[in-house]
Structures are given as structure tokens and as C-alpha cells.
Copies of this chain bind each other. A is one copy, B any other.
Amino acid sequence: MRELICELLRLFYQKGWVSGTGGGICAAFGSNTVLTAPTGVHKERVKPSDLFVVDSQNGKVVHAPKDRSLRISECSPIFCAILRQRGAGSVMHSHALSAVLAADLAGNSDRVIFESLEMLKGLSGSTNLDKHPVPVIYNTVREPELESQMRDVMGQPDFKNSHAILVRDHGAYIWGQDVWETKRHAEVYHFLFEATVARAQRHSKK
């Protein structure tokens, strides 16, 4: 699992989702514990021994890497909130440009609707006929302050089939039952972001 997380970080880096030391991933590891990448490091260079083990119930570090210069991600409370409130097994955090541009489409609304795309079938519980809403929240100065907005949107019935939250000017949090579903959901949502941004550009010209 540790090696797989590092491999996925390298893949996400190649895709431009975790550049500039931003973004990250966590995955359940054992009972009520979760493996998380450190903050402020070049994500494509994270080694298996660099990961933190965190208690997903209270967010406390259970096992820190030997390298004491590494710090736990500021996303950690957010990751834990999603794991608990959604019963997810893994969460990734993307700094992709397409996520920022997709959030821009919301304007002052609290959501972006994704529709008319086969790729919706790649989301657990969705069909390609769905109008699939993803909540869009406001960015905050520090990442833990996003948590209350997130708890709120995760509790809304409209978003019960959403596996992602867009953060304006920032990116997205995307989750799944396990690390493989999170990878699939991440690829699907980034496709939805890119397709919907491209279609919006075309419509704005008509």
C-alpha cells in the first residue's frame, strides 16, 4: 500500500494534479488508521517511508516517519472528515488547472452540474443520464478551515451521489471506497472538468 501510494503520487504529478508540492492522497491502512503523504514536499518524490499513519477518528498521528523534518499534511483533518462522513477508504486532493476552471463555472452558485457524458458511468452509483451535481465551496486561508463548509455540503441530500468537492481557486477533493476507486473517480472527474470547461468555452462564443 505504501509503495502504491507513492506510485499514484508520481502518476498524479505527471498528469499535473499535484505540482508545486500541492495536492496529495490518503488511504485507509488497517482499522481506523490511514496513510497520508507529508506536506510541503515534491509529491512525485515521496518515498514509502515518508508516509504518516493517522488515526482517522481523531486525526492524531499514530506513527510518524523517521525523517523528523517531515510534517503531516494540513489536509489531514479534511481527509479524516471525508473518510468518516462518507465512509470512504481513500481521498485524493487535486491542484489541477481543470478543477480550478470547472469551479469558476459555478459563479455564485453552490454547485456545478455535470451531464451528457458517458464518463458519468465511471462514478459509483451514477448513470450517463444523470445530471450530476458537485458542490463548490469557497477557498479559505488555511486548509483546515475548509472543513466546516465540507461537512455542510457532505450532509446535503443533493450531493449524496457526489464523490468530489470543488474548492474555488484551489482544486478538488475526490474520494472512493478504496484507493483504486479513488484513482478511477479522480480520472473520471478530471475528464468531466475538462469536457465541461471546453463545452462552456464553445457556448460562450455563440
Residues of A at the B interface (CB closer than 8 Å) are 19-22, 42, 95, 97, 100-101, 104, 116-119, 122, 127-129, 139, 141, 167, 169-171, 180, 183-185, 187-188, 190-191, 194-195, 198-199, 201-202, 204-206
Contacts and interface: CB of A to CB of B under 8 A. Distances in A.
Nearest to A98: B198
Contacts of A19: 187-188, 190-191
B42 A184 contact: yes
A204 B203 CA distance: 10
A12 B204 CA distance: 31
Contacts of A201: 201-202, 205
Given A19-B190, A19-B191, 14 more contacts: A19-B187, A20-B122, A21-B122, A22-B122, A42-B183, A95-B119, A101-B198, A117-B170, A118-B167, A118-B169, A128-B170, A201-B202, A204-B205, A204-B206
B141 A118 contact: no
Nearest to A101: B198
A118 B22 contact: yes
B116 A195 contact: no
B141 A127 contact: yes
A191 B187 CA distance: 20
A118 B97 CA distance: 11
